[in-house]
């Protein structure tokens, strides 16, 4: 009997009620044994280096490992769960043990999306899926429609951002069990929120990766990435592992989408790019649900995002727009270190272009690299761009992990947040941003020995290329670095926190009422820069006979309010004759309304 909604090719799968098939690609091994509940059995070597063993009587949560010829016991790279730490026993998981509580859920349309990025380990003091569930009503009431969970694939140690995962099918055991993650997702769905997962397919972490022992051919020996030898995506068994993983998370956990990390580092020389294959498989397998696939790509490209005859995404849905963040950051702080030097000249013009057109760099030469970057983006629909004024990367890639509110002040940050939430691009809030969190989000790990030393020294060296690198870099392996990054929920209950929450709640209500219908109608939106001057910008977007306009000032002197058509949707801090410092106005015009 076939069991489960998705049959993986790697790992332990129930092929009948009482029979589990264990399967792994270990072309580097002549013999391999399965250690199940302490007893070893030799596995059958098949063609092309696959090892298989069917075991009758294996049960849910049985412990197992693969034993190499030299006696080394390693976890299953395709495991659905670990008993504990990354190098210990894997667990047999029967997906039938997790009945869904959200049977009618089909997701939410992309046009409605307001993303909330969170890290399970620091979202609550307990740092678990179960404790995170307690905060979900707070986010739903606020107006959040999508949770974006930073990577949860099992990684070395108990603490980390998650981008060094090595078991790509197993939720990190420190966060909870597979059942706990199912419960978290069910709870979000019952509150009307989608859940997407950040997934890393460009490298494996430095601890707990035993694939080089099992199958050296999993990696190119003559090609490297910033994190080590490059993955051999062209090899059939490797490609199976990589392309199955995204579909596994969407099918088994009923997630509503995925965010693909740093896809510019995925180099596939086959005739059919692995990222195209992944998207095509997902679209074919899950046609009846709202599945949202976003990409992070520093190249500012759009070739993975074609649209069908109805204007709907045929493969990937949208792109993280780092240009928006970088332009907003320089505009607000004046910092020009590292990659911010690309936005140093005329920052108000670059921020206005990011609002109006999406990408700032659309083929222009980058001052940082001396090379051209990007492609034209004006013809992309506004919902192609996922915008943010802060996220895990842009805070954590600072020595002290400061948030924008610390660097630019509360008033500037509030104005930029309003622009983010009332623009027609898809907005993303980083956890705590909704109540004005001031605690840092630092880079933290849980490595030991030589690896801990290498990470500590390497991170300190890396910060020389980033803004905010002055002072001593906190040790990533110090538990206090992790604790300092945990949200302070008491701040949300303070007077300032409640005021900030009310501010965000109002903005999201306005977005739902006025902006979402414009996006839901489909089609393009012609964005244009209306005006820029020192510290101030004005832009507009034309949706057929409807015009949305926005003007803001974060400079030190008042500026005249530009001629913007229509009725005022929002004016902060209050209606004025001019745009005072740290103020914003948003208007909406229908039909032939003129300024």
Q: State pLDDT tens for residues 388-430.
A: 999 999 998 898 999 999 999 999 999 999 999 999 999 999 9
282 close to 260: Cβ distance less than 8 angstroms: no
Task: Classify 326 as helix, strand or coil.
Answer: helix
DSSP code of 511? I
Which class for 489: exposed (0-12), middle (13-18), buried (19 or more C-beta within 10 A)?
middle
**Which of 333, 332, 334, 385 has the alpha carbon at shortest distance from 356?**
385
Could you tell me if 414 and 465 lie in one domain?
yes
- The residue out of 488, 513, 538 marking a domain boundary is 513
274-285 helix and 236-252 helix, angle to the nearest 10 degrees: 40
268 is catalytic: no
CA dihedral 383, 384, 390, 391 (to 10 degrees): 120
**Which run of H or of E encompasses 329?**
helix 322-333
How confident is the model at residue 257, as a pLDDT?
Answer: 98
The CATH number covering residue 460 comes to 3.20.20.80
Cβ neighbours of residue 472 under 8 Å, at least 6 residues apart? Answer: 399
Q: Is position 21 within any domain? A: no
**Which of 328, 329, 392, 382 has the alpha carbon at shortest distance from 356?**
382
Q: How far apart are CA 341 and CA 337, in angstroms?
A: 6
Q: Which of 296, 342, 433, 434 is catalytic?
A: 296
pTM for the whole structure: 0.96
The total of structural domains in the chain comes to: 2
H-assigned helices in 199-321? 211-214, 236-252, 274-285
Could you tell me if 360 and 322 lie in one domain?
yes
How confident is the model at residue 470, as a pLDDT?
Answer: 61
Joined together, the tokens standing for residue 496 give 């300032």
The CATH number covering residue 572 comes to 2.60.40.1180
pLDDT, mean of residues 353-374: 97
Q: Residue 456: which pLDDT band, with cuts at 50, 70 and 90?
A: confident
Q: Which of 117, 180, 186, 261 is catalytic?
A: 261
297 is catalytic: no
Could you tell me if 337 and 423 lie in one domain?
yes
**Residue 341 β-bridge partners:** none
Q: Is position 521 within any domain? A: no
How confident is the model at residue 47, as a pLDDT?
Answer: 85
DSSP code of 38? T
Q: Is position 10 within any domain? A: no
Q: Is position 68 within any domain? A: no
Task: Kindly list the distances between the CA atom of residue 377 and the CA atoms of 191, 293, 381, 420, in Å, as whole numbers in the listed order.
Answer: 35, 19, 9, 18
108 close to 194: Cβ distance less than 8 angstroms: yes
Find the domain containing 493 and state its range.
112-205+257-281+291-301+315-513
Q: How far apart are CA 30 and CA 28, in angstroms?
A: 7
Task: Kindly list the distances between the CA atom of residue 369 and the CA atoms of 320, 358, 365, 427, 463, in Å, as whole numbers in the listed order.
Answer: 21, 21, 8, 28, 18
Could you tell me if 341 and 416 lie in one domain?
yes
How confident is the model at residue 4, as a pLDDT?
Answer: 40
**DSSP E strand stretches across 452-545:** 526-533, 536-543
Could you tell me if 426 and 531 lie in one domain?
no
Per-residue model confidence as pLDDT tens digits over 91-138: 999 999 988 777 789 999 999 999 999 999 999 999 999 999 999 999
Could you tell me if 534 and 578 lie in one domain?
yes
Could you tell me if 491 and 557 lie in one domain?
no
How confident is the model at residue 592, as a pLDDT?
Answer: 56
Q: Is position 235 within any domain? A: no
Q: How far apart are CA 357 and CA 364, in angstroms?
A: 14
Could you tell me if 124 and 271 lie in one domain?
yes
Could you tell me if 331 and 397 lie in one domain?
yes
Per-residue model confidence as pLDDT tens digits over 462-487: 665 555 556 688 999 999 999 999 99
Q: How far apart are CA 546 and CA 279, in angstroms?
A: 34
Q: Residue 3: which pLDDT band, with cuts at 50, 70 and 90?
A: very low
């Amino acid at each position: 009997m076939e069991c489960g909604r998705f049959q993986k090719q790697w790992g332990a799968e129930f092929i009948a009620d009482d029979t589990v098939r264990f399967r792994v690609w270990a072309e580097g091994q002549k013999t391999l044994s399965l250690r199940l509940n302490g007893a070893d059995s030799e596995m059958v070597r098949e063609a092309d280096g696959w090892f298989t063993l069917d075991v009758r009587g294996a049960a849910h949560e049985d412990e197992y490992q693969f034993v190499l010829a030299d006696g080394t016991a390693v976890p299953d790279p395709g495991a659905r769960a670990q008993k504990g730490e990354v190098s210990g026993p894997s667990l047999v998981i029967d997906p039938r043990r997790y009945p869904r509580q959200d049977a009618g859920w089909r997701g939410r349309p992309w046009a409605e999306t307001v993303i909330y990025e969170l890290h399970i380990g620091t979202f609550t003091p307990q740092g678990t899926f179960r404790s995170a569930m307690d905060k979900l009503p707070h986010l739903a009431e606020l107006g959040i429609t999508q949770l974006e969970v930073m990577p949860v694939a099992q990684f070395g140690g108990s603490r980390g951002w998650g981008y060094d995962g090595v078991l790509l099918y197993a939720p990190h055991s420190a966060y909870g069990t597979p059942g706990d993650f199912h419960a978290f997702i069910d709870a979000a769905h019952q509150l009307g929120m989608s859940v997407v997962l950040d997934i890393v397919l460009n490298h494996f972490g430095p601890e707990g990766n035993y694939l080089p022992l099992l199958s050296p051919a999993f990696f190119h020996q003559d090609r490297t990435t910033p994190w080590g030898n490059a993955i051999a995506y062209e090899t059939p068994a490797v490609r199976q592992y990589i392309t199955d993983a995204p579909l596994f998370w969407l099918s088994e956990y009923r997630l509503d989408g995925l965010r693909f990390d740093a896809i510019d580092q995925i180099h596939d020389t086959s005739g059919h790019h692995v990222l195209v294959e992944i998207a095509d498989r997902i679209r074919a397998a899950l046609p009846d649900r709202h599945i949202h696939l976003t990409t992070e790509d520093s190249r500012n490209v759009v070739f993975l995002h074609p649209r069908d005859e109805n204007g709907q995404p045929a493969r990937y849905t949208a792109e993280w727009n780092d240009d928006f963040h970088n332009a907003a950051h320089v505009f607000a702080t004046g910092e020009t270190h590292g990659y911010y030097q690309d936005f140093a000249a005329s920052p108000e013009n670059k921020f206005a272009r990011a609002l109006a057109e999406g990408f700032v760099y659309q083929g222009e030469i980058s001052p940082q690299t001396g090379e051209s970057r990007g492609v034209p983006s004006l013809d992309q629909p506004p919902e192609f761009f996922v915008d943010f004024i802060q996220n895990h990367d842009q805070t954590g890639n600072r020595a002290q992990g400061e948030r924008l509110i610390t660097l630019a002040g509360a008033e500037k940050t509030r104005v930029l947040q309003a622009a983010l939430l009332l623009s027609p691009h898809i907005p993303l809030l980083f956890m705590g941003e909704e109540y004005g969190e001031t605690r840092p989000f630092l880079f933290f790990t849980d490595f030991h020995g030589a690896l801990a030393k290498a990470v500590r020294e390497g991170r300190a060296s890396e910060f020389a290329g980033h803004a905010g690198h002055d002072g001593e870099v906190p040790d990533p392996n110090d538990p206090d670095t992790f604790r300092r990054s945990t949200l302070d929920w008491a701040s949300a209950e303070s007077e300032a926190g409640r005021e900030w929450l009310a501010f965000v709640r109002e903005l999201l209500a306005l977005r739902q009422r006025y902006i979402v219908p414009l996006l839901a109608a489909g089609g393009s939106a012609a964005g244009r820069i209306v005006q820029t001057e020192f510290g101030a910008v004005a832009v507009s977007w034309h949706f057929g006979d409807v015009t949305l306009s926005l003007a803001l000032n974060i400079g030190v002197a008042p500026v005249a309010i530009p001629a913007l058509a229509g009725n005022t949707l929002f004016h902060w801090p209050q209606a004025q004759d001019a745009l005072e410092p740290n103020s914003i106005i948003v208007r909406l015009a229908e039909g032939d309304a003129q300024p």
